[in-house]
Amino acid sequence: MKFAVTSKGDQTSNALMQKVKTYLADFELEYDEDKPDIVISIGGDGTLLYAFHRYKNRLSKTAFVGVHTGHLGFYADWVPSEIEKLVIAIAKTPYQIVEYPLLDVTISYINGNREAKYLALNECTVKSIEGSLVMDLEIKGQLFETFRGDGLCISTPSGSTAYNKALGGAILHPSIEAIQIAEMASINNRVFRTVGSPLILPNHHTCMLKPVNDVDFQITIDHLTLLHKDVKSIQCRVATEKIRFARFRPFPFWKRVRDSFITG
């Protein structure tokens, strides 16, 4: 088995990374940053997001496992004191694969047939650079509403506990293949109306955002912030690709939600 390790970069995470490399090498596993079978992410959810984007072209071949060195993360189910136990599990135990849905984002431009394609593990957000965001929102090719407000957040089920939750969106279990659209400070009065509630779309529905006016957009894909000009449309749907997690023991989603937001 080939493995790679990513670190948050702090002293604790870097020290654990060196331990993992040494221990797995002792078990005669091969370190390979280019084509790993398993990636051990040491840090927090942000570190795993980084690892996901680094290996997004190998999702069908690479599985991820997380060690959290800070607050409890939604993607990291091991703690530093369990490093030896994790190493033995990786070296000796067949692991179960758990797959989570991803968000497919396709941005089309006014000039030419150029497109930009992205995958998001958590979410995509869209905001205008100046003034309110004004977008026609189409679902399955039908106009649903014209949104006016600060912006829109389109999230995955696993990303529903992140920015989406802060916007009042629902928490979705990652086994549900869906995307969620949440509003950021929508304008609702006698002239302008939006649905005012998060929308959950199944995997066979496509969301299309079309600018009403000619402005530039700030679009985020997880932790990546991008400036886009001359945008014709932004298509969002459940991706055909999935992220694969290596599970060596149960990691109940609702327990993570409870531990993160209720019990502390």
DSSP state of 56: G
Give the pLDDT score at 263: 83
43 forms beta bridges with 68
Fold topology of 102-240:
Tumour Suppressor Smad4 (2.60.200)
Look at residues 106, 110, 141, 104 and name the one whose alpha carbon lies nearest to residue 232.
Answer: 110
Number of Cβ within a 10 Å radius of residue 6: 22
pLDDT at 264 over 70: no
Q: Which homologous superfamily does the CATH classification assign to the domain defined by 2-95+248-263?
A: Probable inorganic polyphosphate/atp-NAD kinase; domain 1 (3.40.50.10330)
- What digits encode the pLDDT tens for the residues 157-198? 999 999 999 999 999 999 999 999 999 999 988 888 999 999
Task: List every span in the chain annotated with CATH 3.40.50.10330.
Answer: 2-95+248-263
Is 167 strand, coil or helix? coil
Pairwise pLDDT comparison (71 vs 121), residue with the higher score = 121
Task: List every span in the chain annotated with CATH 2.60.200.30.
Answer: 102-240
Can you tell me which residue has the tokens 């990546």? 224
Query: Strand 207-211 to strand 199-202: parallel, antiparallel, or no bridges (unpaired)?
Result: unpaired
Average pLDDT of the chain is: 95
The pTM of this model reads 0.95
Active site (catalytic) residues: 45
Output the six-digit token pair for 160.
């529903």
Question: With bands split at pLDDT 50, 70 and 90, how would you rate the model's confidence at 72?
Answer: low
Give the pLDDT score at 180: 98
